[in-house]
Structure 1
């Protein structure tokens, strides 16, 4: 599918994998809406790639719809990449067996709301816009990629909320692709492993921590780069025979329990 001159929307596009995807899309000639809550980073990236920034909380359906309309105003909206998401780490029960130390239910709901429900909300609006378009020469009206995680398959101790949200995204892939097939819209999911993003900056020595994590990767023994993930996302978006798949991009890692 040729995306030259098309509009694209990337949620969570201000940093990490989303930013790398936004740059790749702009290089291929798309007009990109960087949808994120990080205003400074989002506006800077949008200016860099000749796109537009939209402040979007994916749990606010009105903001989602407005951002989709804004993207559609730039050109035919043929691309959506759902990269917005958060993490959370907490065991299901506490060591003392008290109810009060069990997993924070509001935190669980928040992770599901952002990672899973938010991604579906953006997809349903973007796909509705795509369905109104004339097909490209390849027959596509549009293409959607959602970013999950290997935690969907190898969820670790304390990752109940995160793994459930990402597992839900994997579970959405086939039925949503089937729903959208009649409109000529493809839907795929990419599941990253350990990727070099600011998520690890909490560590006392981030470089040493990332080196330790990278040693657990099958090969190459390092963290992946956002651009390596963006490359796979772009392939899923533009390869017109790529549909209804979840692809792990993880260097062969299988996450241990902790």
Structure 2
């Protein structure tokens, strides 16, 4: 097999998939879609109760189990990988999806070091640790597979200035995924990477209340930016006021099916409605060519 030409499609039916942050939001939508297509799914999530509830709810759809996992801890992720390979003998699809905000945004110099540690620990180190623990085993198995890392248009394409820490973390995910994909090809493997840009409407996810899982040792020690994380409803109201119309809210199961469609097609970029983003990227490139500050991403605000 040429290392530039992987299997044309992946057959999700009969595959083994791991989804971090899979007990709610975008991850749960992906888990649902995978089960509907005959995959065996391991839901890895830091919240044991939420994971248990999600597994109970989704069990009628197919073979699904849960494994409490802290993606910032390599020992926890190694235990997850051990479990997956002991229970199922393989991992074909790895969704590094768990993510958090920094806890408030605002002025970059008012974000605290612990905001960086918390956000990068989950969003960047979580992806890196997942790759380090699973990819060597996936390579050794010699089977076709895909590693899907969740980024964001905020940072992955261009930053929202008031979300500097979060945007920086998602820029790192996009850059890392591109490097990962290139190295998987050079390895001569039938593994490939994808970067997911959730799109097609606002996403009602646990991202907006992620502070509930913030470790005490990474708590803010000062006033920070003076802003707390917004709830989904608060952000929706802000966007409605800014635009003058109610924003579109995505159906997370439908979005999950779109993501799995793209995985089956082995697409590198997984996202929707990126025409405006392409125009933004052209403007950014032109500005860089003039040694100027590129346009930022306003995310509709």
* Common fold by TM > 0.5: yes
- TM-aligned CA deviation for residue 134 of structure 1: 4.2
1 CA distance for matches of 2:195 and 2:154? 13
1 CA distance for matches of 2:33 and 2:263? 11
Give the structure with higher Rg (CA): 2
Counterpart in the other structure of 2:270:
247
- TM-aligned CA deviation for residue 235 of structure 1: 2.1
Q: Gaps spanning 5+ residues in structure 2: where? A: 1-9, 210-228, 278-296
SS of the residue corresponding to residue 213 of structure 1 reads helix
Gap change, CA 1:75 and 1:30, over 3 Å in 2: farther
Q: Gaps spanning 5+ residues in structure 1: where? A: 94-101, 136-140
- TM-aligned CA deviation for residue 132 of structure 1: 2.1
Gap change, CA 1:251 and 1:16, over 3 Å in 2: farther
Give a deviation string over 1:122-172, Cα, whole Å, max 9, x none.
02222212112243xxxxx21111111111124223311100110001101
Report the count of equivalent residues. Answer: 240
The question of 1:44 aligning with 2:29 is answered no
Conserved 8 A contact 1:10-1:33? yes
2 CA distance for matches of 1:184 and 1:204? 41
TM-score, normalisation: structure 2: 0.71
Matches within 5 A, 1:5-154: 5-47=14-56, 48-49=58-59, 50-72=63-85, 73-88=87-102, 89-93=105-109, 102-135=110-143, 141-152=144-155, 153-154=157-158
RMSD over aligned CA atoms reads 2.8
Q: Which structure has greater helix proportion?
A: 2
Give a deviation string over 1:99-137, Cα, whole Å, max 9, x none.
xxx3201211221121011111102222212112243xx
Conserved 8 A contact 1:76-1:130? yes
Counterpart in the other structure of 1:187:
193
TM-score, normalisation: structure 1: 0.82
SS of the residue corresponding to residue 141 of structure 2 reads coil
Counterpart in the other structure of 2:168:
164
SS of the residue corresponding to residue 77 of structure 1 reads coil
1 CA distance for matches of 2:254 and 2:242? 18
1 CA distance for matches of 2:207 and 2:178? 29
SS of the residue corresponding to residue 92 of structure 2 reads strand
Match of 1:173 among 173, 177, 180: 177
- TM-aligned CA deviation for residue 71 of structure 1: 1.6
Gap change, CA 1:23 and 1:75, over 3 Å in 2: farther
Conserved 8 A contact 2:29-2:256? yes
- TM-aligned CA deviation for residue 3 of structure 1: 2.5
1 CA distance for matches of 2:132 and 2:232? 41
Gap change, CA 1:175 and 1:247, over 3 Å in 2: same
